């Protein structure tokens, strides 16, 4: 039985993780941590009652989890990882905002058999979207990314958009010349979006959205659009459960759900 601690358990993603892990064969949620919701009951989908705790260190020492799943906030995820990895707890992270350099630094805290797994997106369709975009970039190097999320998202661009831009940049032989920031009107800087490894990325934040991304390619006399839409957060749960199940047999730093899908 894989013992799981969920950090950020009272949040929208955290609650889904608690239910999904509780329903999965061979794993159980042994602790829920959320300093902003101490004493709040989190639905496990079973008869068990799970109350949110305040302290991560105390929860780990008392409940002895094998894996911590973190869907918290960019301002607290690093501290959570430092605590968990130092105590030999494998970590599955969906909180974005940490650079690859920072993830490498944190993974150095892990003991020999401990793993730090990070995925910018746990939806299987999103993984395929990124893979298809990287393949297309070899043949259509003119590309821009539009990512759309709910208005409570704490970071922009999204981790998925950043990862997609990195994969596209690595796949294409060169970054073609396109209208850049020099074309933005005075006082209206930002119109061309952020530039990630030579790829323009545009972030939209609106109520009613969940998580969406469109990768737009342009070529002579043609365009290509690759789009993924998350319409419900349950779409992330098969990927989270897969990561919890697989991380125990891994070590060091792994980035991207494709690493666990045999891609």
Q: How many CB atoms lie within 10 A of CB 128?
A: 15
Which runs of E-coded beta strand occur in the chain? 2-7, 27-33, 41-42, 50-53, 67-70, 90-93, 115-118, 142-149, 194-196, 199-205, 211-219, 222-230, 252-255
Q: What is the pLDDT of residue 145?
A: 98
Short-list 96, 49, 104, CA closest to 74:
96
Q: Is 149 a catalytic residue?
A: yes
**HSE (CB half, 13 Å, CA atoms) of 126?**
27
Residue limits of CATH 3.30.360.10 in the chain = 124-230
CATH architecture for the domain at 2-118+233-260:
3-Layer(aba) Sandwich (3.40)
Q: What is the pLDDT of residue 111?
A: 74
Q: What is the pLDDT of residue 235?
A: 94
Domain 124-230 in this protein, CATH class: alpha beta
Residuewise pLDDT in 10s, the chain (263 residues): 999 999 999 999 999 999 999 999 999 999 999 999 999 999 888 878 899 999 999 999 999 999 999 999 989 999 999 999 999 999 999 998 888 899 999 998 887 789 999 998 999 999 999 999 999 999 999 999 999 999 999 889 999 999 999 999 999 988 888 888 889 899 998 999 999 999 999 999 999 999 999 999 999 999 999 999 999 999 999 999 999 999 988 989 999 998 898 64
Q: What 8-state DSSP symbol labels residue 35?
A: G
In sequence order, which residues have a C-beta less than 8 Å from that of residue 64 and are 6 or more positions away? 3, 30
- The rounded Cα 224 to chain-centroid distance in angstroms is 25
Q: What is the pLDDT of residue 49?
A: 81
- The rounded Cα 109 to chain-centroid distance in angstroms is 21
Q: How many CB atoms lie within 10 A of CB 125?
A: 14
Q: Is 228 a catalytic residue?
A: no
Q: How many CB atoms lie within 10 A of CB 91?
A: 26
**Catalytic one of 149, 200, 212, 228:** 149
| Beta strands at 115-118 and 252-255: parallel, antiparallel or unpaired | parallel
Short-list 119, 96, 133, 124, CA closest to 227:
133
In sequence order, which residues have a C-beta less than 8 Å from that of residue 231 and are 6 or more positions away? 210
Query: What CA–CA distance (Å, rounded) separates 69 from 17?
Result: 8
**Catalytic one of 73, 150, 153, 248:** 153
Residue limits of CATH 3.40.50.720 in the chain = 2-118+233-260
Collapse the DSSP code of 44 into the 3-class scheme (helix H, G, I; strand E, B; otherwise coil) and give the result.
coil
Asked whether 91 and 68 are in contact (CB, 8 A), the reply is yes
């Amino acid at each position: 039985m894989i013992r799981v601690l969920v950090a950020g358990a009272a949040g929208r993603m955290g609650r889904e993780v608690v239910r999904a892990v509780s329903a999965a064969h061979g794993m159980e949620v042994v602790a829920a941590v959320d300093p902003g919701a101490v004493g709040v009951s989190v639905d496990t989908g079973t008869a068990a009652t799970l109350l949110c705790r305040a302290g991560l260190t105390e929860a780990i020492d008392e409940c002895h989890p094998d894996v911590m799943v973190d869907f918290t906030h960019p301002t607290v995820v690093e501290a959570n990882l430092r605590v968990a990895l130092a105590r030999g707890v494998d970590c599955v992270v969906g909180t974005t905002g940490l650079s690859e350099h920072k993830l490498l630094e944190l993974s150095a805290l892990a003991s020999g058999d401990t793993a730090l797994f990070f995925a910018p997106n746990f939806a299987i369709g999103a993984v395929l979207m990124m893979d298809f975009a990287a393949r297309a970039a070899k043949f259509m190097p003119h590309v821009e990314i539009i990512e759309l999320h709910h208005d409570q998202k704490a970071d922009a661009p999204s981790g998925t958009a950043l990862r997609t831009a990195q994969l596209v940049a690595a796949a294409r032989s060169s970054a073609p010349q396109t209208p850049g920031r020099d074309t933005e009107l005075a006082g209206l800087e930002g119109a061309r979006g952020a530039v990630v490894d030579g790829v323009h990325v545009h972030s939209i934040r609106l109520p009613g959205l969940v998580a969406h991304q469109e990768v737009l390619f342009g070529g002579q006399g043609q365009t290509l659009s690759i789009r993924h839409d998350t319409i419900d957060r349950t779409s992330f749960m098969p990927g989270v459960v897969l990561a919890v199940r697989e991380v125990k047999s891994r070590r060091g730093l792994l980035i991207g759900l494709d690493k666990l899908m045999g891609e």
